[in-house]
Amino acid sequence: MSIDHSPANQALTPVPQGNRVFHFHEHAALWFSLGTGLLVMQIGAYLVPAVGTRDAVIAILLGSVVGAALLAWTARLGCQTGLSSAGLMHATYGSAFARLPVLLNIAQLLGWTTFELVIMQEGTVAIATQTLGIEVDGFTGKLLATLLWGAVLTALMAGSMLTLVRRFVSRFALPLVIASLAWLTWQFGTRLVAQGFDGFWNRPGTGGMGMFSAMDLVIAMPVSWLPLVADYARHGKRSATTFGGTWLGYALANIWCYALGVLVVSTVEPGTNLVGALLLAQGGLIALGLILLDEMDNAYGDAHSGAVSVHSLRPRWSIRAAGLGFAVVCTALALVLPIHTLEPFLLLLSSVFVPLYGVILGRLGSGTVVPSLTARAVDWSAAALWLAGIATYHLLKQYAPDLGSALPTLALTFVLAALTRPRNAGGLSAARA
């Protein structure tokens, strides 16, 4: 069955320049909000004591800057072309082969949205039990909390993404999230100083991972957003402000949340649950509550992009209808799936999407021209480079872990894709910068 490329397929039709509404501050607010979350703090907590504190800080800084730059470059491409993430995949890999990465993206977004609902459900149960003193029966509490957040997500999916970002995220949510992060940083930073900063800073790692492996884990978070960023960046007015806002917003959030995870786990008793530790801090209930509300932005961001990808394959299903279905399915999955092994899941996603976007950026990253979406069913050279990139990622992980996997794989696929870029690619001209 062929994919419909008519204007009715909004995912594969560029957003007209006159319909774009996002400025620098809206991109920055959106990606700071999406980069903030309990999941990021939990993964930051994984870095220690596997690596020493100084190596963890270096990995967080470099990994966040590089990962956010990759995210921002993809955002710039989405703004220049007006295409969604699915549209970029079609333009690079061909209309038939692109179904594979689009389907993989839908699968990962189902997983991420379910992750977010589980995190919000567990945080809600923890608040009710530990702080409010409400006795919550096991499955009943899980059911009620999941249905609550699932209903909120479903209600948001019925509205407008542009309105949510412009009127809620950038105006109200961002200041509250920054205030909550600042308060938690102050609380645990004060505790760290009291315990002795020198001991914390000079603490060696146990050797569970090297610094480059730690960077892979940090880069994994921005990489997980690569298949989504164009769905929002295509609504940007100028590519320069789209690039700058995305890079600054996400890099700051990623650095802050990873570092806060390291800070928290370094100042509490070993084995303490992260949510429980946050609740024990003075004012932790309010701060955690605000972060949980912000977690809904992440769930919405995943579900909206999942809906755009579904719509790209089934244009008869509107983005709104696909989003409502997406929210309902993920709410059901959050009740039954065991979602707690984060590191392998994140690194598996990196192994797929790092080379996928290495090829996309190598082929389209110059921003001068985008190949026609109907030019060919399969771009065999692009497909081969992607598959070779996945193999390279896993070979490096297995046989050269000290080198890391993400950056070498990204560099290899980007260079090879740029060198094999078709010279006579025609099609959609890029929007003005």
Question: β-strands 427-429, 369-371: how paired?
Answer: antiparallel
| Mean pLDDT value of segment 309-320 | 93
Q: From its phi and psi, is residue 367 left (phi > 0), alpha (psi between -120 and 50) or beta?
A: left
- Nearest 5°: the CA angle 382, 383, 389 is 90
| In contact, 281 and 187? CB cutoff 8 Å | yes
Q: pTM for the whole thing?
A: 0.88
- List Cβ neighbours of 364 (8 Å cut-off, separation of 6 or more): 77, 81, 88, 91, 92, 370, 371
Has residue 281 got a pLDDT over 80?
A: no
Does residue 167 have a pLDDT over 80? no
Selection from 41-55, 125-139, 255-269, 272-286 with the highest mean pLDDT:
255-269
The Cα 161–Cα 358 span in angstroms is: 28
State the pLDDT confidence band at 37, using cuts at 50, 70 and 90.
Answer: confident
Which pLDDT does position 86 carry in this prediction?
94
What is the CB neighbour count within 10 angstroms for residue 280? 14
Q: What is the pLDDT of residue 386?
A: 97
Q: What is the pLDDT of residue 426?
A: 42
Q: Give the whole-angstrom CA distance, residue 16 versus residue 393.
A: 37
Q: 283 — phi, psi (to 5°)?
A: 75, 10
Give the Cα separation of 80 and 244 in Å (integer): 14
Distances (CA, A) of 30 to 24, 79, 84, 145, 242: 10, 15, 17, 25, 11
Structure tokens, 430: 């890029």
Which has the higher per-residue pLDDT, 389 or 126? 389
Q: Which is it for the CA torsion 361, 298, 346, 337, positive or negative?
A: negative
In terms of pLDDT, which residue wins out, 51 or 276? 51
If phi > 0 it is left, if psi is from -120 to 50 it is alpha, else beta; for residue 283 that is left
State the SS3 of 55-67. Answer: HHHHHHHHHHHHH
Q: Give the pLDDT confidence of 65-77 residue by residue, as tens digits.
A: 999 999 999 999 9
Residue 318's pLDDT band, with cuts at 50, 70 and 90, is: very high
pLDDT of res. 1: 41
Q: Which residue has the higher pLDDT, 138 or 41?
A: 41
pLDDT tens digits for 205-254?
Answer: 887 788 888 898 898 889 889 999 999 999 999 999 999 999 999 999 99
Distance (Å, whole) CA 412 – CA 187? 43
> What domains lie within the chain, and their CATH numbers?
20-341 (1.10.4160.10)
Average confidence (pLDDT) over 290-319: 90
pLDDT at 428 over 70: no
380 CB-near residues (< 8 Å, 6+ apart): none
- Computed over every residue of the chain, the mean pLDDT equals 86
3-state secondary structure 261-313: HHHHHHHCCCCCCHHHHHHHCCCHHHHHHHHHHHHHHHHHHHHHHHHHHHHHH
pLDDT score for 270: 76
Token pair, residue 207, equals 């050797």
Span 367-376, average pLDDT:
55
pLDDT (0 to 100) of residue 137: 63
**What is the percent of the chain where pLDDT is above 90?**
49
Residue 146 corresponds to which tokens in the numbers above?
A: 């999941």
Q: Which amino acid is at 53?
A: T
